[in-house]
Chain A
Amino acid sequence: MIDLQQITFGWPDRPALLEIPQLSIEQGERIFIHGPSGCGKTTLLNLIAGIHPAPQGSITLNGEQLNTLSGSQRDRFRADHIGLIFQQFNLLPYLSVQANVELPCQFSKIRRERAEQRYGSVAEAGLSLLQELGLSGLLQQPVTDLSIGQQQRVAAARALIGSPEIIIADEPTSSLDSANRAAFIELLINECDQNGSTLLFVSHDQSLAQQFPRQIDLLQLNRAGEAV
C-alpha cells in the first residue's frame, strides 16, 4: 500500500540525504520509524506526504504513483488520504476544538464524504472521535486553554477524521511526559485500528518502539552516505 522503490533525495549540488532501495508497508500496519536527529526522518515523511517530489525512484501510495502527479495533484492527494500530527502547536489558536477537528473535512471532499458516511455528519464524526479520545467536554473550548496532552489528542482526532488511509505522526509525543506518552500512543493505535489506517510514527525515542508491531531503523534503511 505504501511502496518505495529506489528513492534518492538530496538538495542540488549536495550529497544525497536519503537513499532507500526498497520499503513496503501494508495497509493498516503500524510502523515505528526511529533514528537519530538528522538521519532523514523528516525528509522521508515529506517524500511520503508528497511535499517534496522524489526526483528518482518511485513512491506508490494506494496504487497511485506520487511522483507522476503534479504539485497540486499531490496537494489534493495529501489532503484526501493523509492525516498529519506534529510535535506540538498542531492547532489553530483562533478556532474552537471542534472547528480544529473538522478542518480537514473543509478542505477535502473525500474525507467529508467518508465522515458523513460513517457518522452521518462531519460534526458527529468529530464529536465521536473527541469522545473516544476523552475530550468530549472541551468542544467549544478555545484550544489555548488545553494542556499539551489534550492538544495532541485533538490533533490526533483531526488527523483521523474522514478516515484517511495513512496517518503520519512526526514526534507527536516529544512534549508529553512519559505517562501521557504511553496513553497517547495507545489511543492513537486504537483509533488507527478502528479506522483501518496505516500509522507511520516517527520518533528518535527508542523506548516507544515496544508498542509497535513493526519497527524501522532509518539509519539502517538509508543508504545515503554509505558509498561516500
Chain B
Amino acid sequence: MSLLLSLTLKSLWNRRLTALMVIASIAVSVMLLLGVEKVRTGAKESFSSTISGTDLIVGARSGSVQLLLYSVFRMGNATNNVSWKSYQDIASNRHVAWSVPISLGDSHRGYRVMGTTTAYFKHYQYGRKRPLVFARGQQFEQLHDVVLGAEVARALNYQMGDKLVIAHGIGSTSFAKHEDQPFTVVGILAPTGTPVDHTLHVSLQAIEAIHIDWQTGTYIPGSGGTTPLSERELEPKQITAFLLGLKSRLATFQLQRSISNYRAEPLQAVLPGVALQELWSMVGIAENALLIISAFVVVSGLFGMLTVLLTGMNERRRELAILRAVGARPWQILVLLVMETALLTLAGLLVGTAVLYLGLLALLPWLEQAYGLQVALSLPAQRELLLLIAVFIAGVVAGLIPGYRAYRYSLADGMTVRT
C-alpha cells in the first residue's frame, strides 16, 4: 500500500498544477460550506442570546413577535402603551423578583433612546447570562444623564462628558428636538453584540421631563406649566413595555396567564425564548436556503474534480498500462485512482478549513462590530465535522468513477500502450 501511496503522490506531484487547481476548487467549496454553517450557527446563537435571564416580557396586547421586536430589538413601534399603574401592580406581584420598565419613542441621530430605571443595568442579561458592563463611567444618576451603547459611542464618536440632544420621534433626521434639555454622557457600555449597543439609555424621569412642554407631538413652550424640573414629581403615566424576572421559574406560566387576563387593560406576556424561537423560525427559511446553496457549491466543486480527473484519464492510460506491464493488478490501479481523489479531497478539506479559520480570525472583530455577529472560533462542531466527512466520502465515491474507468482500461488495453 505504501508503494501505491508513493506512486500516487509522485504522480500527483507530476501534475501539480492541475492537482492544485482541483484542491483549490474543493477548498473554496468547503470554505463556503463551513463558512455558511459557521455564520448560520453564529447568527442563530447571537440572535437567541440577545436577551437572557429575563422570564417574561410584558407589553400591550399585540403579537409576541412584535412585542419582542420593539422591546428587545428596537424594531418597529408599540401599537399601545402600558399604564404605569398596571406596571406597578404587576411588578409588585409576589412572584416577581425584579422588574425593568422601558419607555421608547425618542431617538438620537437614528439611534433609539430608551427610558428605563437603573434596575436595567443590574438585571438585563444577554448571551450566557452575561450582565451589562460599563466600559467607562457608570449608570445615570442625574436627570439629564445618558448612558450610551458601545456602537452609539463609537459611531458618533462620543466621549464621557459630551452633551447631546434627544430628538422627538424616531426618524434619523427629526426636526423636533428636545433642545432645551441637553443630556450629558456619564457612561458607555462595553460592546455586547446585541441591540443594546445601538441604544441610548436615560431614566424614565428624563423621558417625562423632556416631554413636559409637548402636547400631542408638538412643542409648545410653557404649556406644561412653569414649575421648575427639580420640584416636579416626574412619574411616568405610561411606559412601552417591561421585563420581569421571577423568584421561581415555576411561576412563569401562572403569571403569564394572569397577565393575559389582566382586567384593567389588554396586556400580554411572552417568554423571550419562545418568542425568539418563533422569530427565528421565520428567518429559518433563508437559513436553510443558504445551506442548500453551499451544498450545491460543494457538489459543483466535486464535479469539477471529476471533470479534471476524467479529462486527464486519457493521458494517463499510458501511465496505467505501464504500471500494469510492470505487474500492477487492476485492483491496484483502482486503489491508485481512488487514493488520488481521496488525497485531493482531503487536501481540499484541510486547506479550505484552514483558510476559513484564518479568515474568521481576521474578520471576527469586524463581524462582531458591524453586525453583532458572534462566531465562535471553536474547533469544528459535530455537525461541521459530519459535513466535512460527508464531503470526503463524496470525494472518494467520485473517485470511483475515474477509478473504475481506469480499471476497465487497464483490463482492455492490456499491455498495448495506446498513444
Pick the contact of B415 from A84, A89, A95 — CB < 8 Å? A84
Interface centre among B11, B322, B417, B419 (most CB of A within 10 A): B322
Interface string of B7-18 (1 = CB under 8 A from A): 100110110000
B310 to chain A, nearest CB (A): 20
Q: Are B414 and A46 in contact (CB under 8 A)?
A: yes
Contact A46-B328, Cβ < 8 Å, known A92-B322, A92-B323, A94-B11: no
A89 to B323, CA, bound (A): 12
- B319 partner residues in chain A, CB cutoff 8 A: 92-93
Pick the contact of A95 from B10, B325, B329, B416 — CB < 8 Å? B10
Stretch at the interface among A58-66, A102-110, A133-141: A102-110
- A95 partner residues in chain B, CB cutoff 8 A: 10
A19 to chain B, nearest CB (A): 20
B348 to chain A, nearest CB (A): 21
| Residue B217 CB within 8 A of the other chain | no
| Residue A5 CB within 8 A of the other chain | no
Contact A79-B419, Cβ < 8 Å, known A49-B414, A94-B10, A94-B13: no
B417 to chain A, nearest CB (A): 5
**What are 16 inter-chain pairs, A to B, with CB distance below 8 A?**
A72-B329, A75-B329, A76-B329, A88-B417, A88-B419, A90-B417, A92-B7, A92-B322, A93-B319, A94-B11, A94-B13, A95-B10, A104-B326, A106-B327, A107-B327, A168-B415
| Residue A86 CB within 8 A of the other chain | yes
A74 to chain B, nearest CB (A): 10
Interface string of B314-326 (1 = CB under 8 A from A): 0000110011011
| Residue B330 CB within 8 A of the other chain | yes
| Residue B381 CB within 8 A of the other chain | no
- A158 partner residues in chain B, CB cutoff 8 A: 326
A51 to B413, CA, bound (A): 9
- A168 partner residues in chain B, CB cutoff 8 A: 415
A119 to B291, CA, bound (A): 62
A170 to B207, CA, bound (A): 99
A170 to chain B, nearest CB (A): 7
A99 to chain B, nearest CB (A): 8
On chain A, the number of residues with a Cβ less than 8 Å from chain B's Cβ atoms is: 32
A147 to chain B, nearest CB (A): 18
| Residue B3 CB within 8 A of the other chain | yes
A4 to B328, CA, bound (A): 26
Q: Are B325 and A84 in contact (CB under 8 A)?
A: yes
Q: Are B14 and A94 in contact (CB under 8 A)?
A: yes
B320 to chain A, nearest CB (A): 10
A95 to B349, CA, bound (A): 28
| Residue A188 CB within 8 A of the other chain | no
- Interface hits, A33-86 → B, CB 8 Å: 42, 45-46, 49, 51-52, 72, 75-76, 78-80, 84, 86
A72 to B419, CA, bound (A): 26
- Chain A: residues with CB nearer than 8 A to chain B? 42, 45-46, 49, 51-52, 72, 75-76, 78-80, 84, 86-95, 103-104, 106-108, 111, 158, 168, 170
Q: Are B414 and A87 in contact (CB under 8 A)?
A: no
B248 to chain A, nearest CB (A): 73
Q: Are A107 and B326 in contact (CB under 8 A)?
A: yes
A210 to B89, CA, bound (A): 120
Q: Are B415 and A170 in contact (CB under 8 A)?
A: yes
Q: Are B414 and A108 in contact (CB under 8 A)?
A: no
> Which applies to chain B's interface (DSSP): helix, strand, loop or mixed?
helix
Contact A86-B329, Cβ < 8 Å, known A94-B10, A94-B14, A95-B10: no
- B318 partner residues in chain A, CB cutoff 8 A: 89
- B7 partner residues in chain A, CB cutoff 8 A: 92
Interface centre among A46, A91, A93 (most CB of B within 10 A): A93
Pick the contact of B322 from A51, A79, A80, A91 — CB < 8 Å? A91
Pick the contact of B326 from A72, A89, A103 — CB < 8 Å? A103
Interface centre among A49, A80, A94, A170 (most CB of B within 10 A): A94
User: 9 tightest CB-CB pairs across the interface, nearest first?
Assistant: A79-B327, A107-B327, A51-B414, A94-B14, A84-B325, A94-B10, A75-B329, A103-B326, A104-B326
B225 to chain A, nearest CB (A): 94
- A76 partner residues in chain B, CB cutoff 8 A: 329
Q: Are A52 and B417 in contact (CB under 8 A)?
A: no
Q: Are A52 and B326 in contact (CB under 8 A)?
A: no
B233 to chain A, nearest CB (A): 90
Closest to B2 in A: A106
B107 to chain A, nearest CB (A): 69
Q: Are A106 and B14 in contact (CB under 8 A)?
A: no
Closest to A91 in B: B322
| Given A52-B414, A75-B327, A111-B327, 15 additional A-B pairs, CB 8 A | A45-B415, A79-B327, A84-B326, A86-B325, A89-B322, A89-B419, A92-B7, A92-B11, A93-B319, A94-B13, A104-B326, A106-B327, A107-B327, A107-B328, A168-B415
- B332 partner residues in chain A, CB cutoff 8 A: 107
Interface string of B380-419 (1 = CB under 8 A from A): 0000000000000000000000000000000000111101
- A84 partner residues in chain B, CB cutoff 8 A: 325-326, 415
- A52 partner residues in chain B, CB cutoff 8 A: 414
A84 to B416, CA, bound (A): 10
Q: Are B10 and A106 in contact (CB under 8 A)?
A: no
Q: Are A79 and B326 in contact (CB under 8 A)?
A: yes
Interface centre among A42, A51, A76, A90 (most CB of B within 10 A): A51
Interface string of B92-119 (1 = CB under 8 A from A): 0000000000000000000000000000
A95 to B415, CA, bound (A): 20
Pick the contact of A46 from B14, B322, B416 — CB < 8 Å? B416
A95 to B13, CA, bound (A): 11
